[in-house]
Structure 1
Amino acid sequence: MPGQCHFQASWLDIPDFKDWLQKVVRDARCIVCVKTISLKNQGITACKIHVKGQKHNKAMEDKRKTIPGFFSPRSTSETVTTIAQYSLPSSKPAEPSTSIGDASLMAPRPLVCGNQTLKAEILWALKCVDSHFSFHSCEHISDIFKQMFPGDPLAQTFSCGETKCRYICQFGIAPYFHGLLKESARADGDYVLLFDESLNKVKKNKQMDILLRLWHHDQVRSRYFTSKFIGHASAQDMLDHFNSAIEDLNHTGILQVSMDGPSVNW
């Protein structure tokens, strides 16, 4: 019935939806476009319209081109191999060679493997985030590196333009650090939740930001946790979105829930 539609769990099994659809209280969310889809009036039809959109299809195509698997769990043997590849050279000085025709000097250098190139691209993406570079500033950066380091095989395979840098940050780095923050909250025990909601002038929706304040390595640290975009801002809607945001946390460790000022904390 129009005006009373809500998310159905069976939609997650639909082939056209399962790679991007996510439940957000009563509505749906596209994790690729980072957009909340209102289901109130159209229900599943709203999802069908979204999946046919040009912006969504381009985002899905870009996601398929992103190199997967770097942050996924690995077996012990794979981890040891990766660490060995990234280990620094030994500090022990090499013995001088007295032979002009030393075979070690004539041996070809090994080719750069894909993991080494990916590591360089991730380090560059982290630098962009840490220094507040725009993603657009990454355009043609690979061409610059090739000119700067013409003899380096790693520079020749490096490729991290605007779109790739954005997807490495959004689908690789962000989920990885978000998972570390959740594990830290579980391991360290007690923590404080902070939230506030205001109008997002770009999306024209109310945005609820949630932060964690926890004790970590002899320091009190406040860290951004997540955001929820709210189509309606009634008290029940705010409570539903708040509970949805913290459902993966250990609720027994919550010391305090804070918002705005001391007079409204509890």
Structure 2
Amino acid sequence: MPDYKTKFNQSWLNKLDSNGNSVKTWLKQGSSETTFICTICRTGDLDCSNKGWKAVEQHMQNEKHKNNLNALKNNSQLTFSISATTSSTSSTHTIQLVDPNKPLLFDDQVSQAEILWALKSVQDAFSYKNSDDVGELFRTMFPDSKIAQKFSIQHSKMSYVISHGLGPYFRDLLIKDIKNCERFVLCFDEQTNNQNKKQLDLYFRYWSSQKGLVVTRYYRTILLDHAQANVVVDGILGTFRTDGIDISKLLMLSRDNPNVNKTVEKMINDAMKKVNAELLNIGTCNLHVIHNGFKAGTTETNWHVENFCMNIWSWFQKSPARQEDFENIVDELNEAIKKTILYFSSTRWVLLGKVIDQVL
């Protein structure tokens, strides 16, 4: 029995859809004679060998197609540039917008909403878990919004969007900016995170020609098993090589004072000398020396005033009633006294004077 198959008919391009619009704005023949494609839905080859035109009509009734077609109507300058590689296995189609500021297709609008929410979550330090129920919240708040009905981003998807979607984009912008600047400072800090892993955070501080000011930008996080100096240096230099960052542009390191970091600075400086460059050395961080100097002087007095200041803070902090009484007294005295009891940190001895002034 012969195998009869319906072929794509060029006369179909003269037909109208249910709204009276010509289908030729989106209907094209596929890579074979028995297939068709929809350019606004960005489909691959759709089969019409059995149902013929009926297969095209079924696609027109698809909800996704209707939404994309409505977006097309709102953009009279939306044009499509189709480049097809005709073969027995695949076809490639490119869609270009004349004006990128015009409305997006429906699926792109949903993706845009999810991306904007991801950016908002990063900006305001929301937990990934906070996104688990936000889709249902938006559907309740905006029942007439088709975008809200399709909005879906849970904590796992949020993690992928930020780490693998947005992250590489912003990192590429940063690397491009770094390559265009004359010199930059590398800020790094190694610590143990809440997963009991060694975490090395890297930041760049540099003059951004794009913004016209000095900026500090997050670069990368490297997880380490052991944090010896050579491991830290290998991690830093390895990321530079991967991203094509010229080490000779490194001006200096911003770090704290542990001995391992002093060794890191020496090893990086040795690596720079191999390319006829050198770190700018202005000495170690003086803040630790100053704080420790004040600590030594205060300890010699045996006044133990720091303990008294911390007890005062705790006495007010653990009682809302005492806090309210303190604020009322300050208002009655009309004194220029801060209503918040200052907290003394045992590593910031220079600030002890401000705390004592408030107590007195």
Q: Same fold (TM over 0.5)?
A: yes
Counterpart residue identity of residue 219, structure 1: L
Relative to its length, the structure with more helix (as a share) is 2
Determine helix, strand or coil for the equivalent of 1:263. Answer: coil
Counterpart residue identity of residue 158, structure 1: F
Going from structure 1 to structure 2, the CA distance change for 1:153 and 1:171 (only over 3 Å counts) comes to same
1:235 CA drift (Å): 2.3
- Give % identity: 32
Query: Which deviations, in whole Å up to 9, do the C-alpha atoms of 1:4-57 show, x marking residues without a partner?
Result: xxxxxxxxxxxxxxxxxxxxxxxxxxxxxxxxxxxxxxxxxxxxxxxxxxxxxx
1:163 CA drift (Å): 1.9
Q: Give me the CA root mean square deviation.
A: 2.4
Map 1:1-266 onto structure 2 (within 5 A). Answer: 78=96, 80=98, 82-86=100-104, 113-202=106-195, 204-216=196-208, 217-247=211-241, 248=243, 249-260=245-256, 263-264=283-284
1:180 CA drift (Å): 0.9
Q: Contact 1:258–1:264 at 8 Å: present in 2 too?
A: no
Q: Contact 1:212–1:224 at 8 Å: present in 2 too?
A: yes
Which residues of structure 1 form unaligned runs of 5+? 1-74, 87-111
How far apart, in 1, do the equivalents of 2:98 and 2:116 lie?
Answer: 20
Aligned to 2:87: none
After TM superposition, the structure 1 stretch with the greater mean CA deviation from structure 2, 181-190 or 231-240, is 231-240
How far apart, in 1, do the equivalents of 2:246 and 2:176 lie?
Answer: 10
1:131 CA drift (Å): 1.4
Going from structure 1 to structure 2, the CA distance change for 1:167 and 1:80 (only over 3 Å counts) comes to farther
Relative to its length, the structure with more strand (as a share) is 1
Going from structure 1 to structure 2, the CA distance change for 1:143 and 1:201 (only over 3 Å counts) comes to closer
Determine helix, strand or coil for the equivalent of 2:143. Answer: coil
Tell me the TM-score normalised to structure 1 length. Answer: 0.56
How far apart, in 2, do the equivalents of 1:143 and 1:235 lie?
Answer: 49
1:81 CA drift (Å): 5.7
1:215 CA drift (Å): 0.6
Determine helix, strand or coil for the equivalent of 2:253. Answer: strand
Counterpart residue identity of residue 252, structure 1: S
Counterpart residue identity of residue 232, structure 1: H
Determine helix, strand or coil for the equivalent of 1:165. Answer: helix
How far apart, in 2, do the equivalents of 1:230 and 1:264 lie?
Answer: 25
Aligned to 2:349: none
Going from structure 1 to structure 2, the CA distance change for 1:263 and 1:83 (only over 3 Å counts) comes to same
Which residues of structure 2 form unaligned runs of 5+? 1-92, 258-281, 286-360
Q: Contact 1:228–1:245 at 8 Å: present in 2 too?
A: no
How far apart, in 1, do the equivalents of 2:146 and 2:159 lie?
Answer: 24
Aligned to 1:45: none
Determine helix, strand or coil for the equivalent of 1:192. Answer: strand
Going from structure 1 to structure 2, the CA distance change for 1:156 and 1:130 (only over 3 Å counts) comes to same
Counterpart residue identity of residue 212, structure 1: F
Determine helix, strand or coil for the equivalent of 2:144. Answer: coil
Looking at both structures, which has the greater relative contact order when contacts are Cα pairs under 8 Å and sequence separation is at least 6? 1
